[in-house]
Each structure stands twice: as C-alpha cells, then as structure tokens.
C-alpha cells in the first residue's frame, strides 16, 4: 500500500502498549514475549484461530531446531514444542529421514490452535479475531501509532505505543511508507503450495517398498533401518512419479514425491502442489493459485492411491484453509541480511536469532529446487536491525517480511526462525515502552540478555563476524 493510505491518528489514548498485527507463529511469539515482559498487548488476527502458516496453511513439519550437532532454537519456539509433546500433539524433534535438514518436528495443527489460545490467556494477551488490517495509523510526526481493521462490526482503530507487523506480507509497514522489495532481481517470487494430509495410510507397506528399492528414497538410512517408525520424511519415489507423469495422470511441476510423518502412525502431510507465476499480493493471482492447487490435490490423491504402496486406501483428511505463500515482499531495514551472511555462517553483535536451515529456493517458473547448505554443524545469526524499518518509528516487523535479500529469505522464512524473530520483536517492543524510547534505540545488550534469560540461544557459534 502507498504511504498515502496510512491514516493520521487522533489524540485518543492508546489502550495497549504493544499492538501485534498478524497471529501467525511470529505474531504469537511476539505477543507472548511482549506480555511476559510487562506490556499491555493486543494481538489481531484475520482468522478465527491463531497459528498462521502452521495452522491456516498447515505447513509442517517444522524445520529445523538443530544445526546437525545441537539444538540452536530455544525460547518460546521450544516451549511450544514441549507443551505439544506433553499433550500428544507432537513427537518432538526427530531425525530427518530424507537428509534435507538435521531434524524435523511434526505437530498436529488442531492441537497447536488450542495451545496458542491457552498461551495467550496465560500471558494476559488481548485478542481480536476476524479482523482484516486496512492500513497503518500515523501520528502528526509520521510515527506509527497503530492500525485500522475491517471487522464484522465495522472499521476499528487500534492504537499502541509500538506496533509489530507480523502479517508476513508487511501490510502495516507498507502502508506506513516503509521501503519495500519483492522477489528476486526480476520481481519473481517462489511458487505457492497447498498442503494436505492423507489418513488411513499403511506406512509398513511404504517402508517395505523403500527397503526393496533403496535407490527410490533420498536417505542415509540403511535399507534395514527404513521402518514405518523411521520414515519421518520421504523424498523420492522417482520411478513411480515419472510413470504417472509419462502416462498423463499428473502434471504437477514437481520432480519427486515428498511427504512427512505427523504425530499419528497412519497419517502423512503432503507437500507437492506447486503454483508458479503468481503475485501473492494480487487477489486475482491468489484466486487462480487456490483453484489450481486444489485441482492438483485431486490429481495427487489419485496418484497416491494407484501408485504408492501403502496408500491404496488413503483418505483426504484435510486441505489447508489457504495456500502456503513462501515469499512476497520484504522491508528495507537498518540491515539487509544477505546470501553470504547465511552461507558464511556470520555472527552479529546485535544478533537475536540463529538458524541452520539451508537456502532453499523453489523454482519460480517450474519444477526443481535449488539448495545451498551451510557448513556442517554451523549456524548463522540474524541481527535485530533486520526487524527495524528505516525512517519509520514506533514499528517493528517479524516473520518472513524482515529485511533480507531474496536468497537469504529462502532460509529465514522457516517456522522455528520466525518464532524466534517474533520473540525478539515482542521483547524489544516491551523494552521500548518501558523506557519510553523508540524500538530502534533499544539497547542491544539489554535485549540480548532478556532473550537469553527467556531461553533464546544466542551463543556465538558462527565462524565469521560481520
């Protein structure tokens, strides 16, 4: 949205210290962190539930909390995993049988929805659901002071001392006049995918197939180790897929079969649909993407039933509420995280998060995925400056709209990372309110100390200082 659409705030007093716009995993972590650090916090979400990509788009499993040697993601993200595990909604962190990352973390989206509401209630976070952000509120100095929302009861204005944009698409920041970039050098973004779950799956039969045909599964597991319980992720089944493509049964632009275990032994999550050439900020393109992706799901369910051992009687248990968007626009912040920052495992004095996920770029124009990995056992850091927009005060961002290049975003967009970024934004917002300063002026040492006390892992494991 252009700056002209931002509304000027009246002199009405703010009811909340911190306004978090967007109830995805980044926004939920931000709201929890702000409230736990003493800020009166309001979380606004467009759906009737929280969780965003993890629940509305059903993207799972979470990848990855580990760097190959140790767990590097803690804080609220790890707390959520532990609480889900305690109630049977996740097996916790398990080895990635497809060798893409060190571990994957399956979870039940429905259990996650319920847990997030519980966490908000425990922390005293106020909620406003079914509210769509319209534009930012700016004061007479051009400082962000809240946002306007469309609700079933009409237009509502919510003001706060600090606003956190966790909308993934940077709706608030764009409206407030923050400089934006989108996609790669040609403006192309990664394709969108609609996730779905299949139940009534016999993974014993699937495991038997990949034991008998070990070349059909990308894995370092020895054939004898390929049991139903060990199939946390399956990538391959190349011959089955190519036969289906050659016969015209499927025309989905993917190069292999890809599915993941869930917390339940007879169910898998499938990540195979792919819709290319869309602008996620164009309503017509999003409409086309949803229609095309659901048609692909129909093809894929038939493929699994007729081609994949163990799936003969599978049922379509669920499709995501919305298509999953890997990339749209990003702010230009005080620092822009780059490809080299990721792949050279760089450290930063103002780091607020760590990640070891590879640069993972799904082809914007068709099949294929380009992967660039960090050195084994290494992780990179994300500086607080990536959350701070240039020029506009009173505002932070969290999630996949932070300040990065197209290549770096292909790593930072993953759920464990965005939850940690949300925790950093919420903590910083609360510190800014308490001190009566702008978010960009929050003392980095104080912020890092507060995050470390809350379980965020900020040890300097990276190799190259930046």
Share of the chain above pLDDT 70, in %: 95
- 323-373 per-position pLDDT tens digit: 999 999 999 999 999 999 999 999 999 999 999 999 998 877 777 788 899
What pLDDT sits at residue 389? 98
Q: Which CATH superfamily is domain 3-87+109-183+328-465 in?
A: FAD/NAD(P)-binding domain (3.50.50.60)
Residues 50 and 61: their CA atoms lie apart, in Å, by: 17
Cα 203–207–211 angle (5° rounding)?
A: 170
> In the chain, what are the domain boundaries?
3-87+109-183+328-465, 196-319
- Residue range 156-179: average pLDDT? 98
Pair 153, 313: CB distance under 8 Å? no
Label residue 7 by pLDDT band (50, 70, 90).
Answer: low
Task: End-to-end CA distance of the chain: give it in Å, rounded.
Answer: 33
Label residue 6 by pLDDT band (50, 70, 90).
Answer: low
- 443-453 per-position pLDDT tens digit: 999 999 999 99
- Residue range 277-305: average pLDDT? 97
Quick one: CA torsion of 144, 150, 151, 157, rounded to 10 degrees?
A: 30
What pLDDT sits at residue 429? 98
What pLDDT sits at residue 361? 86
Across 320-332, b (16+ Cβ under 10 Å) vs e yields bebbbbbbbbbbe
Residues 80 and 262: their CA atoms lie apart, in Å, by: 16
- 219-237 per-position pLDDT tens digit: 999 999 999 999 999 999 9
Label residue 178 by pLDDT band (50, 70, 90).
Answer: very high
- 42-74 per-position pLDDT tens digit: 999 999 999 999 999 999 999 999 999 899 999
What pLDDT sits at residue 413? 96
What pTM, to 2 d.p., does this model score?
Answer: 0.95
Fill in the DSSP letter of residue 147. Answer: E
- 105-144 per-position pLDDT tens digit: 999 999 999 999 999 999 999 999 999 999 999 999 999 9
What pLDDT sits at residue 464? 45
């Amino acid at each position: 949205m252009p700056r002209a659409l931002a509304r000027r705030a009246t002199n009405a007093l703010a009811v909340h210290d911190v306004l978090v716009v967007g109830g995805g995993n980044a926004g939920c972590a931000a709201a929890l962190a702000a409230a736990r650090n003493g800020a009166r916090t309001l979380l606004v979400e467009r759906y009737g539930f929280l969780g965003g990509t993890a629940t509305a788009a059903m993207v799972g499993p979470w990848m990855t909390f580990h760097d190959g040697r140790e767990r590097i993601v803690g804080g609220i993200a790890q707390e959520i995993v532990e609480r889900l595990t305690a109630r049977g909604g996740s097996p916790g962190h398990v080895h990635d049988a497809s060798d893409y990352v060190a571990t994957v973390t399956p979870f039940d989206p429905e259990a996650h929805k319920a847990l997030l509401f519980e966490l908000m209630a425990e922390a005293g976070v106020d909620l406003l659901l079914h509210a769509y952000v319209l534009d930012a509120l700016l004061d007479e100095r051009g400082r962000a002071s809240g946002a306007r929302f469309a609700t079933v009861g009409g237009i509502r204005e919510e003001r706060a001392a600090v606003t956190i944009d966790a909308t993934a698409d940077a709706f608030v920041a764009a409206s407030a006049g923050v400089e934006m970039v989108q996609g790669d050098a040609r403006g192309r973004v990664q394709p969108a995918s609609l996730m779905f779950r299949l139940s009534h799956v016999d993974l014993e039969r699937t495991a038997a197939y990949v034991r008998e045909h070990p070349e059909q599964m990308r894995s370092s597991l020895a054939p004898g180790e390929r049991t139903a319980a060990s199939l946390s992720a399956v990538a391959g089944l190349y011959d089955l897929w190519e036969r289906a493509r050659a016969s015209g049964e499927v025309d989905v632009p993917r190069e292999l079969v890809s599915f993941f275990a869930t917390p339940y032994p007879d169910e898998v999550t499938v990540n195979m649909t792919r819709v290319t050439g869309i602008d996620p900020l164009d309503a017509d393109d999003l409409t086309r993407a949803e229609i095309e992706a659901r048609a692909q799901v129909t093809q894929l369910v038939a493929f699994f039933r007729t081609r994949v051992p163990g799936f003969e009687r599978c049922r379509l248990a669920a499709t995501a509420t919305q298509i999953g968007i890997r990339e749209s626009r990003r702010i230009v912040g005080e620092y822009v995280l780059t490809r080299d920052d990721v792949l050279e495992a760089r450290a930063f004095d103002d780091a607020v998060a760590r990640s070891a996920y590879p640069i993972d770029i799904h082809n914007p124009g068709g099949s294929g995925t380009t992967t660039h990995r960090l050195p084994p056992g290494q992780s990179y850091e994300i500086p607080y400056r990536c959350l701070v927009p240039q020029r506009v005060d009173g505002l932070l961002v969290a999630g996949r709209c932070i300040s990065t290049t197209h290549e770096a975003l292909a790593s930072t967009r993953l759920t464990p990372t965005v939850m940690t970024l949300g925790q950093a934004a919420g903590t910083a917002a609360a510190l800014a309110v308490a001190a009566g300063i702008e978010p960009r002026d929050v003392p980095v040492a104080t912020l890092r100390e507060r995050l470390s006390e809350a379980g965020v892992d900020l040890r300097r494991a990276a190799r190259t200082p930046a």
